[in-house]
Amino acid sequence: MSGESLISVKDLVVEYTSGEDVVHAVNGVSFELNAGETLGLVGETGAGKTTIAKSILGILPDPPAKIRGGEIFMDGKNMLKLSQKEMRKVRGNKIAMIFQDPMTALNPMFVVGDQIAEVIRLHEKISKAGAAKKSMELLEMVGIPGERGREYPHQFSGGMKQRVVIAMALACNPQVLLADEPTTALDVTIQAQVLEMMMRLRDQRGTSMLMITHDLGIVAEVCDKVAVIYAGEIVEMGTKEHIFDFTSHPYTEGLFGSLPNLNTKTKRLKPIPGMMPNPSSLPAGCKFHPRCPYATEACKTETVPLFETEPGHLVRCLRRDPRQVR
What mean pLDDT is reported for the chain?
90
- What span, in angstroms and rounded, lies between the C-alpha atoms of 161 and 185? 11
Comparison of pLDDT for 196 and 65, the residue scoring more? 65
100-135 pLDDT, tens digit each = 888 888 999 999 999 999 999 988 889 999 999 999
Over residues 280-296, mean pLDDT: 94
- What span, in angstroms and rounded, lies between the C-alpha atoms of 137 and 104? 24
| Exposure class string for 227-256: b at 16+ Cβ within 10 A, else e | bbbbbbbbbbbbebebbeeebbbbbbbbbe
Over residues 250-269, mean pLDDT: 79
**At residue 2, does pLDDT exceed 60?**
no
**At residue 1, does pLDDT exceed 80?**
no
**At residue 3, does pLDDT exceed 70?**
no
- What span, in angstroms and rounded, lies between the C-alpha atoms of 21 and 34? 36
Comparison of pLDDT for 158 and 40, the residue scoring more? 40
- What span, in angstroms and rounded, lies between the C-alpha atoms of 8 and 5? 7
Phi, psi of 238, rounded to the nearest 5 degrees: 175, -165
CATH number of 5-94+174-320: 3.40.50.300
Q: Given this model, what pLDDT does residue 236 score?
A: 97
Q: Distance between alpha carbon 157 and the CA centroid of its chain, in Å?
A: 24
Q: Distance between alpha carbon 182 and the CA centroid of its chain, in Å?
A: 10
pLDDT bracket for residue 50 (50, 70, 90): very high
193-242 pLDDT, tens digit each = 888 888 888 888 889 999 999 888 889 999 999 999 999 999 999 999 99
Q: Given this model, what pLDDT does residue 324 score?
A: 64
Over residues 246-257, mean pLDDT: 93
Comparison of pLDDT for 322 and 112, the residue scoring more? 112
- What span, in angstroms and rounded, lies between the C-alpha atoms of 5 and 32? 6
Domain boundaries, the chain: 5-94+174-320
Cis status, amide bond into 63, omega within 30 of 0: yes
Over residues 302-309, mean pLDDT: 93
What is the pTM for the complete model shown? 0.89
DSSP-assigned beta bridge partners for residue 315: 236, 307
Comparison of pLDDT for 137 and 324, the residue scoring more? 137
Encode the chain in three state secondary structure.
CCCCEEEEEEEEEEEEEECCEEEEEEEEEEEEEECCCEEEEECCCCCCHHHHHHHHHCCCCCCCEEEEEEEEEECCEEHHHCCHHHHHHHECCCEEEECCCHHHHCCCCCCHHHHHHHHHHHHCCCCHHHHHHHHHHHHHHCCCCHHHHHCCHHHCCHHHHHHHHHHHHCCCCCCEEEEECCCCCCCHHHHHHHHHHHHHHHHHHCCEEEEEECCHHHHHHHCCEEEEEECCEEEEEEEHHHHHHCCCCHHHHHHHHCCCCCCCCCCCCCCCCCCCCCCCCCCCCCCCHHHCCCCCCHHHCCCCCCEEEECCEEECCHHHCCCCCC
